[in-house]
Every structure is written in C-alpha cells, then in structure tokens.
A and B are shown apart, each in its own frame.
Chain A
Amino acid sequence: MTFLEKLMQIDRRWIYLAIGLAVIIPTIWPFDVPVTVSPEVRKIYDFVDEMEAGEYLFVCIDYDPSSMAELNPMAIAIINQAFQKDLKLLFVTLSQFGPGLVEQITSGLAEDHNKVRGEDYIFLGYRPYPAIVIMAMGVDFRVPFPVDYYGTPLDEQPIMDGIKNFDDVKGVIEITSGSTADFWLIYGNGRYGFPLAIGITGVMSANFYQYLSSGQLFGIIPGVKGAAEYEKLVGYPGEGMAQMAYQVIAHTVIILFIIMSNVAYFATRKKRQQMGGGT
C-alpha cells in the first residue's frame, strides 16, 4: 500500500490527536496568531481614537450570557480603549438579561483604569421595548432613565451635566447578539442620524454588511475574529486573541485534513478504477 492509499484509510485517531493538540498547545503556551485587521473594524478604532478626552461615547450592550464568549472580548477592548483615552462613557442595555452582565464588565474595567462611576461613566440600566427606549433617549436620556441602574438620579451625577440626548454624544457603538441592531438602525441612526457602529456575533454579522455600504453603519466588529482584530489595535491581547488562536489552528488543521483527503482521493482514484473498486 502506498502512502497515499494509507492516507485514504487513515486511522481517525490521528485526526482526533491533531484536533486535541490544536486546542491543548495554545492552552499551555498561549501565543498570538497573525490577525489581519479588516477596514470595517479599523474604522471603529480610528473613530474612537480620534475623539478628544472628555468627549462622550455611548455604548449599548445588548446580549445575554449565551453569546458572552463571542461578544465580551470586543466590549472589553472598546471600553479599555475609551477609558485609556479618558472619554466619558454612557452605557445602556436593551437585553432583558443584560443588566448584570454590564454591571460586571463596567465596574471591573472602571476599577482597572481608576474611573469613577457618575463622573467618568454611567450605566443607565435596562428598559423593555427597544424602539421606544431608543426614541425616548433621542429626546432626553432622562425620559426613559430618570435614575441610573443603581437608583441615582441622572441630574445628581456630574457626568450628565450638559448632556441631554444623542446630539451630545460623538457616536454610538452597539454590541449585540442580533435583533436589537435593527432597532438602532431604524429608530436610532434612522431618526437621529448619529454615527452608529455595531459589534455582533460572527454568524449574524453577514446580514449587516449591506448597511456599511449604505453608510448607516460606519463599522462592524464581526464575532471573535473582529474582537481579536480590535484587541490587536488597542494593544490589549485578551480573550478574543486567545480564542482566535484556538480557532485559527483548529480550522487550519481541519482544512489541511480536507485537502489531504482530496489529494489522496484523486491520486489513488486511477488505481482504484483499474482495480474496479469504488469508495
């Protein structure tokens, strides 16, 4: 039996071993995989990067724990960048299961950067009916959120001095597992015209590229890959990079196996035909 014929009948355990190693090696020796930054991710980074200290950025975190693995890394990367630049951050969530999650992320990162709640950032909280909440915020943040998530009235917090509605923020970044992005497009960007970018799960991202070309979005961060790109730009290699390492290697391994399988198949096909056998 030639090598290629053996390859056709390869013991599946070699494949298992390869996948196992592809996952175990990055766990023991973490390393960065080369990440090509796509223009739609860079635009968001540049947008935030060009903002002046003290300017306002609005971040909406609309996912629940089930898509945390994919979306947390990009949320963290953006918040890191913004805090580093001393921007003022407004957070809100339109997902029922979002509040606890946002609280966790924001308070943790604020501590890392010595930021004070109510001065450097504020978490407004959660309200149902996304469309109405977005439109109401377009009038005045105080309409849907007279008090923030922690129950403190907005007017008692220095960060809200002279801030009324979307006219006073530079841009909105929406990080979502799916459905709420449409609300931000139609009722947010569509009605109030503020610059809008989204971070979204890889699978859902495909549906939103059309809004890039139409100019309704100025950037998209798609899934773990987008998160890794953003982390690279910000210079904080985090969970996105780590996940990307596993995924790139595992995908490469599977792709190589598929190529091998086909090479072996075509190389041995002639012989098989002569022998009258099939697969």
Chain B
Amino acid sequence: MKREIPILLVGITGFAMLIQYFIPTGWSEFIFTYSQDWVIVIGILAMPLGIWSLVKANVSKLKVPGERFYSAVLLAGFLIMVLTCLKRENLEMGSLHMDMFTYVLVPIQATIFSLLAFFIASAAYRAFRARSVLATILLLTAFIVMLRFLPLGPISTLNLKAVSWILSVPNMAVNRAIMMGIGLGATATAIKIILGIERTYMGHD
C-alpha cells in the first residue's frame, strides 16, 4: 500500500505517456500538455520543502559561533528578496528587487561562471600529460584544436584544416555513437522504472 501503489502509479502514468506519443489526436495532445503542467505544478508547490530545508539548516547554524554571521547573511538575503517582491510589478526593472538581481545575483553568477577560465587551464595542466595512450590522444587533440588561435603562418593554414577534419569526422562520429548509447541506456532505465524493476528511489516501510 505504501510502496506498491505508488510503483503501480509510476507504471500507469509512464505507460500512458508512452502510448500518447503515438496518437496524434486532440485529446492526446491535451494529455501531453496537461501532464507537463502537472509536473510544473507539483514542482512549484514542492518549493516550500526546499525553503524549509534551507531555512531550518541555517536557523540551527545561528547558534554555532563561527557560522552565525554567514547564516544570518543567507537568511537576510532570502528575506530581502521575498519582502521586496510582494507585488508582481516588483519583477519589472527599476524595483529594489530587480536591483538586487542586477547588482548582486548577476555579477556573482557571471563571476562564478568565469572561474572556468582558470579551471580549464589548471585541468589542462594536470590532465594533459602523456602518461598513457589515451591521455596522449586526448592531449594531442586538445593541443591541435587550441593551436588554431596562434599566429603560426603556414602552419596555421594546415592546422585549421586539421581542426576542421577533427570536428567533422572523429568528433562528429563520437558524438553520434555516444548519443546512440545514451538513447539505449536512457530507454532501458525508463522502461525498468515503468515496469517496476528499478524501484530504489521509492521508499518503503
């Protein structure tokens, strides 16, 4: 009852969505659109679970001396964003809410993203050592592709040809093969879930 019925529901909804794909009628389209709305609605209404988890963890950390300040900052940031947006109009540019978005959220996000410039270099330094055949292939290909930016005269012309061949032959073939594998693997996992063979994600007691 606590586990079997949910597993059965997974199977029924999953099978229904599978069948729906092959039926082009208006009803079938309605079911598809509506089911996507279901997922969205469940996701929205589950949001309090996330907020609760976050708030609970940080309120309890308010008692820990070293953590107190940081948890207070987090809770304050959250509260400010909520309190500055009590009307829908606050989502338009010019409100304090959107200024927080522009001057706090956007720059931090962009900066974290830009850390990749450093990390791509350090990862290359560490990983691109010719310590095995595989590592050597990885290293050489990346090397050739990166070389396209260096002004090397006639070598550049040759290099560009090599890069374009790498992209249009081995790289494309690999992407296709990996995608086909993923297609089969994802399908197998989905079918296992629908048939109830894979049910570890669903609790029981």
Q: Are B122 and A16 in contact (CB under 8 A)?
A: yes
B125 CB within 8 Å of chain A: yes
Q: Are B157 and A38 in contact (CB under 8 A)?
A: yes
The B contact surface, by secondary structure, is helix
Partner of A262, one of B129, B146, B157: B129
Q: Are B163 and A225 in contact (CB under 8 A)?
A: no
How many A-B pairs fall under 8 Å by CB?
90
* A260: chain B residues within 8 A (beta carbon): 125
> Could you tell me the distance between the alpha carbons of A248 and B149 in the complex, rounded to whole angstroms?
6
Interfacial residues of chain B within 154-174, with CB under 8 A of chain A in the complex? 156-157, 160-161, 163-164, 167-168
> Could you tell me the distance between the alpha carbons of A34 and B150 in the complex, rounded to whole angstroms?
9
Question: Which partner residue on chain B sits nearest A10 by CB separation?
Answer: B125
* B117: chain A residues within 8 A (beta carbon): 19, 23, 250
* A203: chain B residues within 8 A (beta carbon): 167
Within the complex, what minimum Cβ distance (angstroms) separates A253 from chain B? Answer: 7
> Could you tell me the distance between the alpha carbons of A205 and B163 in the complex, rounded to whole angstroms?
10
* B153: chain A residues within 8 A (beta carbon): 36
The A contact surface, by secondary structure, is helix
* A209: chain B residues within 8 A (beta carbon): 161, 164
- Interface size classification for chain A: 35 or more
Most chain B beta-carbon contacts within 10 A, residue among A203, A248, A261: A261
Most chain B beta-carbon contacts within 10 A, residue among A39, A206, A252, A266: A206
- The interface on chain B, measured as residues whose beta carbon lies within 8 A of the other chain's beta carbons, has a size of 31
Interfacial residues of chain A within 35-50, with CB under 8 A of chain B in the complex? 35-36, 38-39
Q: Are B148 and A207 in contact (CB under 8 A)?
A: no
A18 CB within 8 Å of chain B: yes
Apart from A244-B149, A252-B149, what are 4 other A-B pairs with CB-CB below 8 Å?
Answer: A36-B156, A38-B157, A202-B148, A203-B167
Q: List 13 A-B contacts (CB under 8 A).
A: A16-B118, A16-B121, A36-B156, A207-B167, A207-B168, A250-B117, A251-B149, A252-B149, A253-B121, A254-B120, A254-B146, A262-B139, A265-B129
The list of the 8 closest CB pairs from A to B, nearest first, reads A206-B164, A251-B149, A206-B167, A12-B122, A16-B118, A265-B129, A257-B125, A34-B151
Point out residues on A near B: beta carbons under 8 Å: 10, 12, 15-16, 18-20, 23, 33-36, 38-39, 202-203, 205-207, 209, 222, 225, 244, 247-248, 250-255, 257-258, 260-262, 265-266, 279
